[in-house]
Structure 1
Amino acid sequence: MQMMSVSALNEKIKSLLEATFLHIRVEGEVASVTYHSSGHLYFSVKDDRSTLRCVMWRSNVSRMRFRLEKGEHIVIDGSIGVYTPRGEYQLIAVQIEPYGRGALALAFEQLKKKLEAKGYFDATRKKPLPPYPRRIALVTAAGGAALQDMLKVARRRWPLVELLVLDVRVQGEGAAEEIARGIAYADTLGADLIVTGRGGGSVEDLWAFNEEAVADAIYAAQTPVVSAVGHEVDTLISDFVADLRAPTPSAAIEMILPDANELLRTIDELGEQMGRRVAQILHQKEERLRREAEAIRGASVLRRLVTLEESFARIGRDLREVIRYRLSQFEGRISPLERQMTESVDLRLRRSGEELRSLSEALRRNDPTLRSKEGWAEVLSEGRRRALESIKVGERFELSDGRVKVRAQCLEKRPLK
């Protein structure tokens, strides 16, 4: 029996396993999953009896349409790889598909569920569409048949509208990001509406309108957005987020633009209705005038005028008498009131003059500058007024007459008899 080192055995196992299991397909349930910051995906799958460790490198992870979640039932295409330093093997995944359904279908459901939870589909946030848009931004492929269909319908229905075409890729790598940028730019152009979409195709062809970048751009737009992608049977994420979903691009223009011919017919009908209504009103007015004329002719208009004239004259005379009587009453009241007011004012003036003289005399008596003439002064100690009898022998104090301040000291103190 040949003796082998651990490394040699691991290398031999590696070569045998990797050569034997070069292209395999494994089905199982996701037991654990880790999206590493490096971009690699580390996960494990299991059945009712065992578990298998797996890895998918960053280059393959970037091509996955859906996000791997714990508990998903999946099918893995790949090969077995052995890490010889630890003697461990794992399944190196190249492609992962949901078991029993396509990856795109699962990706669609996952994104739909995520955006619905964020409120992207709420009916309350849908913006109303203007009835007569003047400017519409079309975010689509300039060379596509969908654009020509939309232009044709717009010229037929409402030639007054201005159409701004923003050329973007609508399928393939990077198309979703380009559509999102186109919508964001269209939102700055002052358009009344934004229409984004393309003609029909396979699920893969239409997939750009199922990307989260496009959904974010539609949700963030202040301008109402119409999603017009594919055919009527096609339903995409952009349809749920947009303010209006149109079954086809040409149908979108039919839905958002009024029909000029129909509007002209409506105006003609309204004109006819107005003409009939005016004729009816004129006929009614003529009948009323005729009845009024007959009533006037049947009455004695002159007699009524004379009666009214006499009534006005009588009322005028009565009114003048009443006015003269009321004025005479007021004239009798004015003179006593005038005398009473004059006496009251004179009395108040006399009293105010006496109060003023009394206050002036009191001010004069208490004015320090006047009192100083009589030989009087204030006694102050530490800024406070003091009674002279409270000053002690030897204590220093101040004398002030309002104009001069003198510092002094008590040399002797005796009461006056």
Structure 2
Amino acid sequence: MSQSMMSVSSLNTKIKSLLEATFMHTLVEGEVASVTYHTSGHLYFSIKDDKSSIKCVMWRSSVSRMKFRIEKGMHIVVEGSVSVYTPRGEYQFQTVKIEPYGEGALALAFEQLKEKLKTKGYFDAQRKKSIPKHIKKIVLVTAKQSAALHDMLKIIEKRWALVEVVIVDTLVQGEGAVAQIAKSLKYADILDADVVVVGRGGGSIEDLWAFNEEKVADAIFEMQTPVVSAVGHEVDVLISDYVADLRAPTPSAAMEMILPDSTELLYSLDEMIQRFEHHIKQKLFDVDRQLKHHEEMLSRSSPYRQLNEIQIRSKTLLNEFDRVMKSKISHLELQLPVLSQAFQKNISFVIKQKEQTLKHLNNAFLMNDPKGKVKKGWVEISYHGEKVELEKINMNDEFYVVDPKVKIKVKALEKKKID
């Protein structure tokens, strides 16, 4: 028997030692031929080129650090080492890191999540809530000691210091930031605010990555309060920007976009006051002019004025009568012996005629006097500005009794019908 002969187990063990010692920290490039994300969290897949393929595995701890999912047909670069399963003599590539071929993992992860959320309707314009025009309470979800918070508070103080500000302190980068941001957003949603602003200042794509995670996108999508995403600088566009109801290029810009400028508002208020004062003055002028016109019209049609004119005309007539009579008397005195009897008749006729005229004028005066048109003891009932009958008045109603001289406010304490 040859001394070089060995058992299957020994052979597989030597192969394992040789392969694992030779192919450590190896990079392999190829196309994904098959892929299975196992319920255990492990990833099983294979890659190939135009001539051969190799089985690969990535354990759950490494899978959890991946930012994107691999799919069949994707061109990737895997990093790891060759391992051998000695009981079956099978080998596979034990992967610790996967990168897309020719592009960054984060860029691919961003596009994958963006497409997924777009398909689910997270970016639809019709589901976005409008930002209130007049904001009384605002919640800021960000790091309490951050420059971004300082900038936002500075703009708030400058533009609209009347707004109530609630700060929800949260991690915005690093391990645990995603879970904290999502939790903080859910808490902010129950604070009965008009708007929630979530964000942070600028940084690298890795620093901002928490806002590109699906868990944060879900939290924003499920909120009932309008949300403004204010992350990084103007050039940074993140998943939170697409899902939020409003995207602000920076945290400071968010405050300028949603809060009114108190200075501009005061200018506008001044202008409105000036227009109001001018309008009121014009109205008062117009009303005063109309009042004077009505007073003049009333004066012209006043019974007292008409009576005064009648009295003036009557006095004029009497004066004219006296003048004519004196002239007549002087003329008749010369003819007195002849005309004495005729004069007496004539003067009696004239006096009776003038008495009738005076009586007629006096009757006309009495007929035109408003005081004479109302019987003594009778009044009008006025209820809510309208003339009504007494039977329309109910118990405890307040109303007015009016005659030509007096207006009295009374209250119905008792009501009886008179048969």
Question: TM over 0.5, yes or no?
Answer: yes
Tell me the residue number matched to 1:230.
232
Aligned counterpart for 1:249 among listed residues 248, 251, 265: 251
Match of 1:125 among 127, 130, 137: 127
1:276 aligns with 2:278: yes
Aligned equivalent of 1:181: 183
Give, in whole Å, the separation in 1 of the partners of 2:91 and 2:250: 52
- Provide the C-alpha distance between the structure 2 equivalents of 1:301 and 1:48, rounded to a whole number of angstroms: 120
**3-state SS of the aligned residue for 1:115?**
helix
- Unmatched segments (≥5 aa) in structure 2: 308-363, 369-419
Partner of 2:12 in structure 1? 10
Question: 1:86 is aligned with what amino acid?
Answer: R
Native 8 Å contact 2:299 2:305 kept in 1: no
SS at match of 1:204: coil
From the superposition, tell whether residues 3 and 136 of structure 1 become closer, same or farther in structure 2 (CA, over 3 Å).
same
Query: For residues 346-371 of structure 1, what are the alpha-carbon distances to aligned partners after superposition, in whole Å with 9 as ceiling and x for unaligned?
Result: xxxxxxxxxxxxxxxxxxxxxxxxxx
Residue type at the aligned position of 2:46: S
Q: Is the 8 A contact 2:12 2:89 kept in 1?
A: yes
Q: Which amino acid aligns with 1:96?
A: I
Distance 1:87 1:198 in 2: 53
Q: What SS is found at the alignment partner of 2:141?
A: strand
Give the equivalent residue in structure 2 for 1:411. Answer: none
| Superposition map of 1:185-334 within 5 A | 185-289=187-291
SS of 2:92's partner is: strand
Alignment deviations for residues 270-303 of structure 1 (CA, whole Å, 9 cap, x no partner): 0111122223333444455566667677889899
**C-alpha distance in 2 between matches for 1:266 and 1:55:** 68
- Give the equivalent residue in structure 2 for 1:137: 139
Task: Identify which of 114, 117, 132 aligns with 2:116.
Answer: 114
1:304 & 1:80 partners in 2: Cα distance? 126
Query: Size of the alignment, in residue pairs?
Result: 310
Q: Structure 2 CA distance, aligned partners of 1:137 and 1:168?
A: 12
Cα distance in 2 for residues equivalent to 1:71 and 1:173:
32
Q: What is the RMSD computed on CA atoms of the aligned residues?
A: 2.4
1:79 to partner: Cα distance: 0.9
Distance 1:38 1:119 in 2: 30
The structural deviation recorded for 1:54 is 0.4
* 8 Å CA contact retained: 2:32, 2:74: yes
The unaligned stretches of length 5 or more in structure 1 are 311-417
- Measured in 2, the distance between the counterparts of 1:130 and 1:24 equals 56
Per-residue CA deviations over 1:81-128 (Å, capped at 9, x if unaligned) read 111111111111110001111111111111111111111111111112
CA drift at 1:41:
0.7
Taking the aligned partners of 1:94 and 1:138, their CA distance within structure 2 comes to: 39
In structure 2, the CA distance between the partners of 1:127 and 1:304, relative to structure 1 (3 Å rule), is: farther
SS of equivalent to 1:54: strand
Q: Deviations over 1:26-63 (max 9, x none)?
A: 11111111111221110001112211110011111111
Q: Given the alignment, which residue of 172, 184, 207 partners 2:174?
A: 172
Query: Distance in 2 between the 1:205 and 1:304 partners?
Result: 96
Partner in structure 1 of residue 358 of structure 2? none
Per-residue CA deviation, residues 219-266 of structure 1 (Å, 9 max, x unaligned), is: 111111111100111111111111111111111111111111211111
Residue 45 in 1 paired to residue 18 in 2?
no
1:178 CA drift (Å): 0.2
CA distance in 2, matches of 1:273, 1:85: 94
1:33 aligned residue: 35
Deviations 1:324-343 (A, max 9, x none): xxxxxxxxxxxxxxxxxxxx
What is the DSSP-based 3-state SS (H/G/I as helix, E as strand, rest coil) of the residue aligned with 2:46? strand
Q: Out of 63, 66, 70, which is 1:64 matched to?
A: 66
